[in-house]
Structures are given as structure tokens and as C-alpha cells.
Amino acid sequence: MSTITLQKLQPDEISQAMLAQAAELFSSAYGIWGPLAEEKMGKFFKRGRRVKMSAERLRQQSLAPGTRSVFVRALSNGKLVGHAFATRWDCQGQQMCWVTQLCVDPEFRSQGLATKILRELRIGEKDQGFGILSSHPHAILAALRAFGGGIEGFDMDMMKLHARGILDASPFEYVKSCKLKGSLFGQEVTDGSVCSGDTSFWVDHDEPLAALDQVKAKGGSWPFGDLLEGCEFIAIDSCLYPEL
């Protein structure tokens, strides 16, 4: 594995070139649109096309004015190979850290890089809780390792009780408007959903579901249930170590 350099940057330290690099990595590595994307979102979102992100759109979604946002990037020989954006807000006197985007170059996956990037987010902060929405199980697992006690220490009761209030306090509309879905939230379901959020994000699920099969094949625990079209898994929990 090559040497990785991590950089944690505040909004006023992030250049347009850095945003363009992050948008390019996301557009090349994140995923493709799923079978219902064109029907739900319009003719430009054809099945199989890569999910694209412009630098300006990335700024709007992850570095909105007035938010307490941060950017961590991972460089290998000067090349961007992974990054995360996160935003903090207060909810009932507790500081939440919400991961708004996590992306790793496919060539650098399965090396613990996502967890290292997320741990870098925490340094010098006093987060009492964290959250992430993602269709990819490895992103969820990385967040649980970086902020909490891993999947084994995940407190689903905390999310059951406080998820709605935390989402409502978010400065981002896509988080605020997320519809909680699954049996964890007291819903009678027959679709296998336990703990997810309906964000109307119609990305293809073949890769995430294949990754989930690998997690289960290795004997890994997965309490989040099934992943439905237009939905993402959601993880919210207390930070194991409030300050690093």
C-alpha cells in the first residue's frame, strides 16, 4: 500500500481546484443510476449512466454558507484517492457530526482508508453523536468504526428514539426531508426494511448489495435489514470517544 497523506480543511481553505478534484473522483467512482432513475427523475438519469457531481453542486450540498462544514482528503503521491465532507450542528445541546459524502477510489478500497478519513474528521472536535446516510454497507461500517464501537457496539435504540429529531435539526434539506423507513421505527413492514431512509436517491444497488453479501458471507452482523429502491441505510449513534 502506498503512503497516504490526510489533510483536514475548513471551508475557507478549500480551493475551487480541490472541489473539482473531489467532484471528479465522485463522478468516476461513486456509482451508476438504477432501473427507476429515469422514471423518477427524468430523461437525463438513464439506467447505467454514472452518477455525476459538479464542483458547484458539491459546494452547495456539502459546504453550504453558514454551516460548520469540513473536508478531509486523502492523497497518494499528490493524487486524490479518497475524501469525506461532514457538517456539524447542535441538537438538544449535543454536537452532531453528519457525514455528507464519503468516496474512495476503487483501487484504494478494502485497505481501511475510509475509516482513516473519517477518524481524521474527528480530531480536535467534541462530537457527541454522528450520522450517515449511504446505500453502501462499507460506508456504514467505516462510520461505525471511526466514530463508535463498530457494528458490535451499535446502539439501535438511540437511533430509534432520536433519529427524527436529529434529522429535523439538519441544515441540509435532503437530510431534513429523509423519511425514516423500517421496523425499527415502529412501522409494520413486509419488505425486509429495518433501518433505512427514503431519500429518493435512485442509484443502482447491485454493487452495494454484492458488498453486503460479502459482509454476510464472512459472518458479519448486519442489523439494518434490506435495501429498497430509492432508499439508503442510515446510521446514527453516540460517539464512543467524544474527543480525540
Domain assignment present for residue 243? The answer is: no
**Distance separating alpha carbons of residues 49 and 57, to the nearest angstrom:** 18
DSSP state of 94: E
Angle at CA 25, nearest 5°, toward 144 and 234?
Answer: 30
Residue 134 and residue 140 in contact, taking contact as beta carbons nearer than 8 Å: yes
Instruction: Pick left, alpha or beta for residue 85 (phi over 0 → left; psi -120 to 50 → alpha; otherwise beta).
Output: beta
Q: Count the domains in the chain.
A: 1
Residue 212 belongs to some domain of the structure: yes
For every one of its 244 residues, what pLDDT tens digit does the chain have, with 9 covering 90 and above? 578 999 999 999 999 999 999 999 999 999 999 999 999 999 999 999 999 999 999 998 899 888 899 999 999 999 999 999 999 999 888 899 999 999 999 999 999 999 999 999 988 888 888 999 999 999 999 999 999 888 988 889 889 999 999 999 999 898 999 999 999 999 999 999 999 999 999 999 999 999 999 999 988 889 999 999 999 999 998 886 555 4
Helices (H), 68-190: 113-122, 137-147, 156-168, 173-176
The CATH number of residue 17's host domain is 3.40.630.30
Provide the domain limits for residue 168: 5-238
- Identity of residue 63: L
Strand extents, DSSP E, 92-230: 94-104, 129-134, 179-181, 196-198
Let me know if residue 244 belongs to a domain.
no
